[in-house]
Amino acid sequence: MHVLAETAVATERPSLSPEQLRRLYKQKSENARKSATRNGLWIAVAAYLAYSFTDYLFIGDVVRYTAAGRLLVGVAALCILELLLYRKAKADTVDMAAAVSVLAAYLVWLLTAQMTTVRDAFSYYMVFGAIFMMSVNLFFSFRFPVALAASATNMLIFIVALYLFAPMLLLHKLILGAFCISCFIFTSYVNLQLNRERYKVFLNALEASLQQAAADERGKALLHLSNTDSLTGLENRRAIDQRLRDYWQRWLDNGAPFAVLLIDVDYFKHYNDCYGHQEGDRCLVAVSRRLQSVASSFGSVIGRYGGEEFIVITPMQNSERAAELAEVMCAAVRALAWPHEHRRDGTSVITVSVGVSYTRDQTKQVDKVIHEADRALYAAKANGRNTLVVFDPEDPQSSDDSEDIAATLKIALEHGLVSLVYQPIRNVQTGKTDAVEALMRLNMLDGTSVSPGKFIPVAERTGSIIELGRWAVRTVCRDLLATDLVQVVSINVSPIELKKPGFSSYVAATLAEFGVTGARLAFEITEGVELEIDKDVVRCISDLRKLGAQVWLDDFGTGFAGLSWLRLIEFDTVKIDRSFLHDCNTERGKRMLLDIISLLRNRGVSILVEGVETIEHLRLMQQYGINQLQGYYIARPGPAAQLETDNVLRFSTVRNPDSKRLFRNGA
């Protein structure tokens, strides 16, 4: 169900009539009322017995009668009360019994006290009858009808006794009668107000509980949104990353081994090109369901790791058992017999390749397990696909080339092996380039290129990223910003750089050297970094903002910290990951993207959508009112010289997506 619709339903207040609300109030307050009446009556009986002392002072000649009457009535009242509670009588019945007990107590005292020969003292002592009236209205938490009936009866008894037993002038009787009536009126009114206030408190508490329930539902919906892949319904990268940390911690604490399987759908890009993205999504859903069924039977956790790649985490005692699971998964997908007629390897159905890694060394990091599974997956693809490979550190085929990359990085700047290309970020409303993103490229000594996904982690591990990052800042300031070739350049920054002391100082010095204002430089931080736990990173970001530099959040929606980051850091721009746009060939995908756009607009940040690769993507973004776009359909990455050509062109066709000349230089 659409997440915003779920949260909207959760915030609706139940449609209850006043009569239904009052019944609910009685039901909710039932036990509290009985408890209050019980406590009140025990205290009242104790006080009632204690007043025997005043009997002794004022009408001592009949104290033995009044005291005996008080004791008899008090014990009887408590016995009746406890019997009713034992038999689980309703609160109304308990209240009625307590009210009758109060009236009986007053009447017994009055009848015994009037036998006194001290008539004058008795005449004034009768005024204490008002205490019984006040107790039913104010001391007990009786409902208004019960309190009104009991206090009215008490008033009538007092007035009758006043005129029958009190030896005083008629004027005095009128005064005392007026006093009694006044007490009745005012205490009854107070009782009415107290009952109304208690009902209001109940309504406020009910509303507060509903709001809390709605907040809980919204939290669950947002958590579900942040942890679930919108297409397949599996756990997403964020949730799986947390699962990995949990499994790793159990491995460290209890020695509970586990295996990681990376699963890639073979030739899936070619499948999308041949059958279309909508059919590709149907294929991914079918594959994910089959994999999930197998994973569940093995007590494993499965998630979508990105694109056509899935990940399985499974508690396993040995690598052979993990290999068995991988083989079952390969066979399960083949059994789908999902057509893929355009493959060139002699197979006509969808298959998967699986890389398996197994925990062996607790001194390593959890990322190493993923890296090993990735290397095994790479080997499985190299072996012809539709197969599995278990990572073996002794097998040359499983070894990676990180050492060669690390050696190359040491001399990359000196030998000109590293370069920057720039991908424009266009405003489709004006047709102009608002900014460009600087992307780093690396060539080996033999001229072969290395993808950033391979050399950036090596650079971070070896520390080369520090020098490379500073070189990138200096290069864009010198070649692009100082020459006013573009207005804004964004640079991807590693958490290693942000943690390193002096990074913000270097940026400040570079800006000053080339006379560039900080606002023209933007630093992109990928969501996958856990900034909350590193104060140095947060402090460095704050220092960069003081320089006027912009801070962007990259790949929003794919990592494990996105929502909390929006609270932690004030971002200038948030780049929505390309996967959400590519999922928009389904209504569910469109609603998901709209949810994210709405969330970011409410936060007041600028929104940039990545991965615009087709004219349909462009039209959809214009429909959603997103102006800043980036992707191969907008413009491909290129050298700085290409930007000069881009800047003199005026893309008047931007607002007309049907034009064949749209972004002709970048498509």
Q: Which residues contact 48 (CB under 8 A, 6 or more apart)?
A: 70, 73, 74, 105
- The rounded distance, in Å, linking the Cα atoms of 357 and 391 is 5
Task: Give 415's strand partners.
Answer: none
Backbone dihedral angles phi then psi of residue 494, each to the nearest 5 degrees? -85, 150
Single out the catalytic residue among 12, 30, 217, 308.
308
Task: Give 424's strand partners.
Answer: 436
* Catalytic residue check, 308: yes
Per DSSP bridges, beta strands 352-358 and 301-306 are: unpaired
Comparing CA positions, the residue from 654, 261, 649, 617 lying closest to residue 430 is 654
Comparing CA positions, the residue from 564, 537, 566 lying closest to residue 552 is 566
Q: Which alpha helices (DSSP H) does 298-337 contain, by range?
A: 319-336
Residue with the two structure tokens 């009126």:
185
Count of CB atoms situated within 10 Å of the CB of 297: 11
Burial of 382 (0-12, 13-18, 19+ CB in 10 A): exposed
Check if the beta carbon of residue 179 is closer than 8 Å to that of residue 127: yes
Comparing CA positions, the residue from 579, 467, 207, 577 lying closest to residue 475 is 467
Phi-psi region at 638: left, alpha or beta (left = phi > 0; alpha = psi -120 to 50):
beta
Q: Helix 144-165 vs helix 170-227: angle between axes, to the nearest 10 degrees?
A: 170
Strands (E), 227-271: 258-265
Positions marked catalytic = 308
